[in-house]
Structure formats: C-alpha cells, structure tokens
Structure 1
Amino acid sequence: MKSDSEQGIVLGDVEVIRVVEWQGAFASALDVVPDSGTEVWKDNADWLSPDHWDPGTDRVTVALQTWVLRSAGRTILVDTGVGSMRERPGAPAFHHRQDDFLGALAHAGVRPQDVDLVVNTHVHADHVGGNTVDAAGEWVPAFPNARYLVPAADDFHFGPDNGYARGLRADDRLIYEDSIAPLHRSGQAVLWEGSHRIDENLVLEPAPGHTPGSSVLRLASGRDRAVFVGDLLHSPVQILEPAWNSCFCMDAGQAAASRRRILEQAADLHELVVPAHFGGGGAVEVRRRGTGFALGVWADFE
C-alpha cells in the first residue's frame, strides 16, 4: 500500500518512486517566473489550477520531493530536499524546517542503509539538505553506504575554493558546510564533469545556467525514456516559453539555452520530463508546437 507521500511508476526496467517532502503554495507567479507576465497564467488557468497555481492568491504551487530509482539492482535517490533544522536565514521557508524526510523514504520502503547512490542535480538548499543528518552535533552522511554524485562545477562554485560562491549569500556557506563538506570528509563524495554514466539505464549530463553545475539525469530503458531536469523548470509555463527563467537562475542566457535544448531533446526522443518541483502529476510529456512546445500527457504520479 502506498502512503500519501509516495507514488511510483515503472519505466522499462527502472522503478521510479516519487517521495514528497512538502507541497504547497510558495510565492507569487511573477516572483517565481519574473519574465512570464500575468496573462499566460490567466490564459492557462484551467489546467494550471489547482496543481500548479492558485488564481485566487496568485501563488505558485511547488513540491519539495525526491525521486527514488531502482535500477540495475541499486537504489538511487535524485535530490534530497531541504532536510531538517538547517540554518537558512536567507530562505525563511527553509530555515529550521522540520520535515520527516527519512520517514517519508521509509514509507516508500527505503532505509538509509539501502541507498547505494545519491544524485544531487545541483547544489541548492532544497536539493542537498537531506544528504546529511545531525549526529550528536555533527553533520554526517544520512546514507552510510551511498556514494554521492555532485557536479564538480557546483562543488567548486559553492565550496571554499571559490569562496562559497564568492560570499554573495551567507546561506551558500551554510549549505556547503552542512550538506556537502561532510560527504568529502567521509570519502563518499564523487565529483563528475562532462557526463557520467551510472549504469546501463542512467546517465548524467550537464545543463548549466541555473547554477554552474546544474545537470539532468537521462533514463533510457527498453522503449521508455525520461529526463530528470532538476530546476530547469519550476513551473509548466516555462515549457510554453523556455526563455522564461525562474528567479533562482544564476546565468539567465545559459539557463534558457539549456532549457530549450533539453526540451527539444525530450520532444524528439519522447522523454517524460521530470522536474524537481512540479505538483500534480509531477512529470509530463512534451510535444513540439511550431517553434515552441506544448504539454502532452501527465505521468500517473497523482
């Protein structure tokens, strides 16, 4: 029996389970996607509401979630959410948050010792927070038997060698020190660049712009295809217009180029697009429409 926070499908030989840490109203539409304008939300309200946007409050609905993959005999986590009791003064929604991430994983049948691999699509607070747990006042890896795949470009940018993202945001140092540095100390961090094949079904590829090391995870098994795109998309309206970045994208031009490239490949290869934060069905097929894109069928994660 599935819990309310866990839903799964099978793609080829890979089981994909969605584990939701939290889902709800986050911020206003133009705060999240500043370039979008109000009309696109109103014109698409019939399907954006209620899973992705609330017309009454103008707030975007987002999910904090982890994707559990069972592939080639291993258990793999794609991103690990916010985590609990983190110092995040620059992000009030994440500051001292208390979500039972490990409990949600347990509902999905995943114990910490069962996890073989953790994929961090990029190093932002809501993607790496569950990497570690507090053990007697010290942050240690939450998954003792796992390797953690971290994009080398993000490790450099957010780590001490680049002055914790050049010291522009205090939270960047905190995020690195409690969620990434412990992986290095334990010898469990694996930095990658270029591309990284995980197994016969899964390969990581760079998609920079949101952060310097932002990445996507491609799944190809049998006739099924999917691409886990992290924060390339925060709202489905960005599928309608890939030039629209979220407010969190660091390099606007590079992020928009990566988004269009990944969406073009998804449409051409018939990949299910699996973003980090979509509510509702959580993942959707993408179709070409002229020089742009349209949404196809939603996955059965609801």
Structure 2
Amino acid sequence: MTRFAIGDIVVSAIWEMEDTSFQMRSFFPLVTEEMLARERSWLTPMFHDPATDQIKLSIHAWLIDTGRHKILVDTCVGNDKKRHARNQWSNLDTPFIERLRAAGAEPDAIDYVCCTHLHADHVGWNTRLIDGRWVPTFPNAKYIFGRKEYDYWTEKYGSDPGSHHLAAYNDSVLPVVEAGQVVLVNDGYELDGCLTFKPAPGHTPGHVAIWLHSNGRECVFSGDIIHHPIQLRYPRLSCMGCEDPVQSAHTRNALLADIADTGRMLMTGHFLAPHAAHIETAGESFRVRCLPC
C-alpha cells in the first residue's frame, strides 16, 4: 500500500489493476519517433514496451482520511462491468474492497466519493452488483460530481450505446443518482475544509482538479489531466480520449507549471506506483523531482 502524509491528513492509493491495453502511438497521436528515441533511456522498459508499443498505466483510487471524514477520489473500473470496447476492463474480479479495508476503510465508512470526471475508469466502484442490481458500493456516502461534467454526460446518454463511458454512466452513475446520494457542485466547491474543486477542462468539458491542503502542505488529484510520464517531457501530447486536445494540453501545462519546483505533490490517476511525485522544471518541460516513499 502506498501512503502519504499531506500536513495532518493521510492519503492512501488503493490499487485496482495495471492497464496495458493501449499502445503509445495510438494513445498519443502526436508522439514522434524522435521523442521516443530521445526518452528511451528512462522510458523503457518500465513505461513503454517498444516490441509491442504498449504503455503501462495504473488504475487506482485515492483514499483521504482527514480525521473527520473518509473520502474516496475516483473509483477505478469496478468488478463485473461489461466494457465491450475495453476488453481489459470487462468482467473484472479484483480484491479492490479488500484493499480498501486494508487501508483502514470499510465501504460503509466512506463519507464522500469525489470524481474528477465521469469516464468509465473513474466511476466503476461507485456501484457493485448485488442480486442482479447495481447498487451504491458506499451506502452512507455522498457522491460529489461536477455539475458541468454531469450535465455533459446526461445529454450524451443514449446517443452512443457502444460507448464504454456511456455504459459506465448507466451502471455506475445513474444508480447513485437514483439512490439520492449525488450532490452536484460548481467549480470552486470546497469540501470538509480541505478540498477544493478547480476547473481543469480538456480531457472532458467538466473535468476538475481536486486540491487538498492541510497545515501548509498541498497536493492535487489530477485525474486524467495527465496519464503517463512522457507527458511531463511533452505536455502537448494529449491522449486519444481527450475531447479537446488543445485545451487538454493547455490545462496540463498550466497545472505542471503551478506545482513544479514547489512542495506541492502530484497525485496522478494513472502513473505506476508510487502513483505520486514532486515535479520540477527541466528546460521548457518537466520531470519527476523525486519519488516519495
């Protein structure tokens, strides 16, 4: 288990799976052979397999224990979900709940679930399958969704039945809405005196960065603002799933510039363990300053 102290608050990564279903050249349409050659010394084999072109991503959630509340940020893919466009995400059977318990939180002890956005790999454990029905995994939690993000997917719902993201809306978003557990919030929303939801559009229109502050320390849960370490070196590399690649690149560069060379920690959505890092500037780009332990 990966655990960090942010001021007086404890943050733990709850790992679900390693995703190797994407290839570098298709996932990042603007990547070039020159970029890959220049970064090969650190990129392979940990982050990229040149033989298969596969990249390695982690899918994990973040558990925040403020001492007052237990808060979960993003909820991975989930078990038993059918994701026809993503075979590696379909019909999972992982011990995610057991890992959550090992980190000190029973499902019914979670007070809030916060989603940076509503893509399938960030909402899956919102629900679980019980007696053939999708029910909220965290029965006592309020699920905090950005209003702009929720409205966007609500409008799209039903327009593309083959989309794994809309399948996730059906089985991982609607059930918690129908259970009356969803709270829709605007940009700038503050939770529990330590979390702030700031707009971070591009990957999706309503994507947010969730900032945590405690006793002079800060970190940011970046969701899909950044997926892979190569984007530190080349922030202009937006992924194929970004709905507005230009805006996504702008958001990513601005966030990295904001936290670089400071004590602020980047709590990523998809970097391999330890999943978080301090960032420093490297010329006109960025790199990991150190891997916290």
Which of 234, 239, 244 aligns to 2:237? It is 244
Q: Hey, what does 1:78 align to over in structure 2? A: 73
Per-residue displacement from partner, 1:247-278 (whole Å, max 9, x unpaired)? 11111111111111111111265321111010
- Residues 19 and 59 in structure 2, CA contact (< 8 A), matched pair in contact too: no
Q: What SS class does the counterpart of residue 230 from structure 1 fall into?
A: coil
Q: Are the aligned partners of 1:72 and 1:200 in contact in 2 as well (CA < 8 Å)?
A: no
| Equivalent position to 2:136, from 134, 138, 141 | 141
Aligned to 1:171: 164
Report the counterpart of residue 106 of structure 1 in structure 2: 101
**What amino acid does structure 2 have at the position aligned with 1:9?**
F
Which residue of structure 2 aligns with residue 58 of structure 1? Answer: 53
With structure 1 as the length reference, what TM-score do the two structures score? 0.91
Q: 1:226 is matched with which residue?
A: 219
| Number of the residue aligned with 1:195 | 188
1:17 equivalent in structure 2: 12
Q: Which amino acid aligns with 1:122?
A: H
Report SS of the residue matched to 1:26: coil
- Tell me the percent identity: 31
Distance in 2 (CA, whole Å) between partners of 1:47 and 1:73 is: 41
Task: Say if 2:2 and 2:274, in contact at 8 Å, map to a contact too.
Answer: no
Provide, for residues 87-128 of structure 1, a one-character-per-residue CA deviation record: whole Å limited to 9, x for no partner. Answer: 211222212222222122122222101101111111111100
Query: Following the alignment from structure 1 to structure 2, what is the Cα–Cα distance between the partners of residues 199 and 47?
Result: 39
Letter in 2 for 1:43: R
The alignment covers a number of residue pairs equal to 293
Deviations 1:139-184, CA, capped at 9 Å, x for gaps: 111001111111212211212xx14174374333321111111111
Q: Distance in 2 between matches of 1:108 and 1:47?
A: 31
After superposition, the Cα gap between the structure-2 partners of 1:49 and 1:221, relative to the gap in structure 1 and judged at 3 Å, is farther
- Asked if 2 retains the 8 angstrom alpha-carbon contact of 1:245 and 1:252, the reply is yes
Q: Deviations over 1:66-90 (max 9, x none)?
A: 1111114111111111001112112
Matched residue, 1:3:
none
Match of 2:43 in 1: 48
* Structure 2 partner of 1:183: 176
C-alpha distance in structure 1 between counterparts of 2:173 and 2:254, whole Å = 29
Q: One-letter code of the match for 1:149?
A: I
Gaps of 5+ in 2: none
In 2 relative to 1, CA 281–38 (structure 1 residues): closer, same or farther, beyond 3 Å? farther
Tell me the CA shift for residue 48 of structure 1: 2.6
Q: SS of 2:58's equivalent?
A: strand
Tell me the TM-score normalised to structure 2 length.
Answer: 0.93
| Match in the other structure for 1:39 | 34
Structure 1 segments, 4+ long, off by >3 Å, are: none
SS of 1:27's equivalent in the other structure is coil
Structure 1: any 5+ residue segments left out of the alignment? Answer: 1-5
Equivalence for 2:285: 292
Q: Which one of 14, 22, 27 corresponds to residue 22 of structure 2?
A: 27
1:258 and 1:299 map into 2 onto residues whose CA distance is 24
Which shifted more, 164-173 or 100-109?
164-173
Aligned to 1:264: 257
Letter matched to residue 229 of structure 1:
S
In the alignment, is the contact (CA less than 8 A) between 1:80 and 1:131 conserved in 2?
yes
Match of 1:204 among 183, 197, 202: 197
For 1:183, what is the secondary structure of its paired residue? helix
Structure-2 residue corresponding to 1:68: 63
Amino acid at match of 1:241: Y
